[in-house]
Chain A
């Protein structure tokens, strides 16, 4: 922490200033998080009341729970696909926006705005285009001989939620990539060009390595997004179906807790998600602290 030379001295004012933030943090963040961790080690009786300690039982039960393991696998596929799609499309667009001398600003403004669209609303927009009865794209696919019905076909449902989730995230990634590309010194590119490197080779040997801090940052952001923020997409588009084909972990936690009322099981699943996000946050901060540059 950078220290300041000049500070005020006052007995209660600083406490009063941090108090609201700490109160909200303690009541709505730390206490529920503590409760979550504790209840992951308990089993609750069918009608509340009697609770008893079961150690790691809730966790081992997850390991034996086929539908949870399935959901785990689904989440990995969904997150990897969403992240890769969002990163690659936005990088492609940013590289081209950086190359387009004319109109770069216009492109930037027109490509950035879907960031304002809620994931759930993005889901509704894509659902409309791809719903089997009136969807424009669904009918076009049928016309091309692809029988499209994501309400029956799990793979198609997955494609739909990945498209909707990535669509919104492209805008966010695009802004970061473009900013990073604009800070690559043009003298480097020119030097490589003089040495006879073509545009593609220059991109992979010079530009892409220079972008790696941004890419890593966005990779973490997109993973967190696809793990947690996409709940709205799933709930509006597929509700986890068909046959659990899009039942990602956050959706499963919600179902186990609020629909199934299995408190211990839901808490154990929450703890697994907690470990995941703690890992990613620590990784990100160590990376930012280290500021890896090439």
Chain B
């Protein structure tokens, strides 16, 4: 930087502190609200933490927030299964197809690549009813396979692996071949271990993607005990003829944020690295 005196050193910090406030304020409010009774939140908003933190979290986890609706523990479990299924599924089928496209010559290879590419332009929102119909015809509604399988095609992940495989030197393959390694052995012993960072980066991005899905679980699940936390919270907020229990809703919101946040925190390095590539 060029200027080093006076105001120009202070202003960035002022702007950034305002930014931190903007980012952190809604969460601070949610945490505080989740530690009070519903009655405490009516009237003046409490400035400090209350004494019902554990009570509230225990209540939503075991009983849910309203009379109807699944307990939050169930929704968390469903979200976890869905997010892990989607992220792992995407990684597995994408690394396999990228490996085939990069390391083999086979008929219609180019066509395969383009078909995978096209999925980028077809988010579920633009093909919503027929996709629902297909899932219904396959009897996959209200099931984990219905939540997971239709989403595990991934152009982004395939591109990322393909890109990475191109950076591996040809000599690696030649050396492996001289040692008599076939395509599967080369994959297990060389390519897979070398892809660790790419896999980790993709896992972060796709786990967050899977966890945060809203429309998809909304259309393929109808049973309450199949709802995920991100879409299940809607039933707590939109209640007919009664005041929403904000202390419980905020506890649920905090629980919904926690798992993807932990993934980001524990895999921060891979997370930042994953931003080098465009994500869809």
Contacts and interface: CB of A to CB of B under 8 A. Distances in A.
Interface of A: 1-2, 4-10, 13-15, 17-18, 20-22, 24-33, 35-36, 39, 89, 92-93, 96-97, 99-101, 103, 107, 109-122, 124-129, 133-134, 136, 139, 167, 170-171, 175-176, 179, 186, 189-190, 193, 199, 217, 221, 228, 231-232, 235-236, 239, 250, 253-254, 257-258, 263, 266-267, 270-271, 273-274, 277-278, 281, 284, 288
Given A97-B12, A281-B121, A171 B129 contact: no
A266 B11 contact: no
Given A10-B183, A125-B27, A120 B127 contact: no
Kindly name the residue among B1, B211, B249, B260 whose own CB sees the greatest number of chain A CB atoms within 10 A. Answer: B1
Nearest to B30: A125
B130 A175 contact: no
B121 A121 contact: no
22 contacts: A6-B177, A9-B104, A14-B104, A17-B99, A17-B100, A21-B97, A22-B115, A24-B152, A33-B130, A89-B22, A96-B16, A120-B230, A121-B233, A124-B249, A128-B250, A136-B29, A170-B22, A231-B214, A235-B234, A253-B128, A258-B129, A274-B121
Given A18-B101, A36-B127, 19 more contacts: A7-B105, A10-B104, A14-B101, A17-B96, A25-B119, A27-B150, A32-B127, A113-B23, A117-B260, A125-B30, A127-B237, A128-B29, A167-B22, A176-B275, A231-B214, A235-B214, A235-B218, A258-B219, A277-B126
Contacts of B278: 217, 221, 284, 288
A18 B276 CA distance: 26
Interface in B7-22: 8, 11-13, 15-16, 19-20, 22
Given A116-B261, A221-B278, A21 B94 contact: yes
Given A121-B256, A139-B45, A199-B3, A18 B112 contact: yes
Interface string B116-147: 10111111011111110111000000000000
A36 B11 CA distance: 53
Contact of B125 (A27, A228, A258): A228
Kindly name the residue among A32, A236, A277 whose own CB sees the greatest number of chain B CB atoms within 10 A. Answer: A32
A288 B154 CA distance: 19
A176 B275 CA distance: 7
A28 B153 contact: yes
A294 to B, nearest CB: 20
Contact of B230 (A125, A190, A217, A232): A232
Contacts of A124: 233, 237, 249, 253
Contacts, number: 290
A1 B23 CA distance: 42
Contact of B275 (A1, A35, A179): A179
Interface stretch (B48-56, B66-74, B166-174, B194-202): B166-174
Given A119-B212, A170-B23, A190 B2 contact: yes
Interface residues of B, number: 103
A278 B257 CA distance: 32
Interface of B: 1-3, 8, 11-13, 15-16, 19-20, 22-27, 29-30, 33, 41-42, 45, 93-94, 96-97, 99-106, 109-110, 112-113, 115-116, 118-123, 125-131, 133-135, 149-154, 158, 166, 170, 173-174, 177, 182-184, 186, 208, 211-212, 214-215, 218-219, 230-231, 233-234, 237-238, 243, 246, 249-250, 253, 256-257, 260-261, 263-265, 268, 272, 275-276, 278
B246 A116 contact: no
Contacts of B93: 20-21, 24
A154 to B, nearest CB: 18
B177 A20 contact: no
Contacts of B123: 228, 277
A136 B45 contact: yes
Contact of A125 (B1, B29, B130): B29
Contacts of B177: 6
B183 A4 contact: no
Contacts of B26: 122, 125-126, 128-129, 167
Contacts of B27: 125
Given A125-B29, A232-B231, A254-B215, A29 B122 contact: yes
B111 to A, nearest CB: 10
A15 B104 CA distance: 10
B257 A116 contact: yes
B97 to A, nearest CB: 4
Contacts of A26: 115
Nearest to B14: A96
B238 A93 contact: no
B97 A128 contact: no
B130 A39 contact: yes
Given A231-B125, A231-B214, A8 B103 contact: yes
